[in-house]
Structure 1
Amino acid sequence: MSLRAVLLITLQREPGTGYDVLQRFKAGLAHVWQASHQQLYRELDRMRGDGLLTCETVPQAERPDRKVYRLTEAGRQALDGWLAEPLAASPVRQPLFAKFFAWERWPEPARRAELAALSEQLEQRMQTYAAIEAEWFSDPETLTPAQRAPWHTLRLGRRLTETWLEWIEEVME
């Protein structure tokens, strides 16, 4: 998945500023995509240059002007084209796995510290998933199919994270 596709998805329902898009990421897409402020703003500018977005500058008193981005027809077509294309399974590109091929040279204290730190990060991710679920998906039975689809991705993210945590435990033993 590319940042461009995620931005098209994020702006499909309503226009927004870069800040708005970042907040939408945090609220709903944090479990599927992450991007820095710089990456996001660079891609928004590229997309505008490619004719996928328009940008309306809204003056503000005592604050910098707001730039509100909106999908163009070309942006909607690009989103539709991306959605229609089947995705290939992503290769597992995990630098940590490469270290396992040098197990005998990887100092045990460094190995244990790295796996403990990863475990802590994954536990934090689980807390983030729980917060997202509590805020957005507290009653899954009442969700429409469109609302249920992101909930399914959240559930998959939790399962994958649980698998990682179990794997780390297994390796640590």
Structure 2
Amino acid sequence: MAHVILGLLLIAPQSLYSLIKSFEAGVALFYSASSGSIKRALDTLLGKGLIEVASTEPGGRGKKVYRTTEAGRQEFHRWMTGELGGADLETAALPRLFFLGLLAPENRPPVLRKIQERAAADLAELTALHKHLDTMELSPEFRDVAAYQRLTLEYGITSGRHALAWFGELADRGGPQTG
């Protein structure tokens, strides 16, 4: 979540309330967060010197507006161009895709290629599992359960093939066609 917040603050300095609204307006399509978790992430980013308070409104509430520091910009760039961690492809890839326009054009294709490589690796794992299941003997009472589990796996394989092709085409084009 910290890197998503850094990306949002690179687009524009924002208050906690604005960040919550930014999550609701677009980020929630690939990443959900509560207001409490956003606040905790802001506190952590502040503590690490990756963001700073840009301004505080006068008055009783003293609403703070946050912005990234140079260290925050460097950390965001390192994350965007680094290896894709995360339990699944969507968690690893979609936040980077969402913020890819913040990178210089020459840095975008390598990120897309890393996503494509991750999609290929994930697909290879699912395909190997599918082949392994073909060799297993099932007792009659579990055949129906196994049939639906296999369908779930087939969905994952189909989704993986689509992601591999889609990110590959995007990388080949060098990004979206704008203009």
TM-score normalized with structure 1 length = 0.49
TM-score normalized with structure 2 length = 0.47
Say which structure is richer in helix: 2
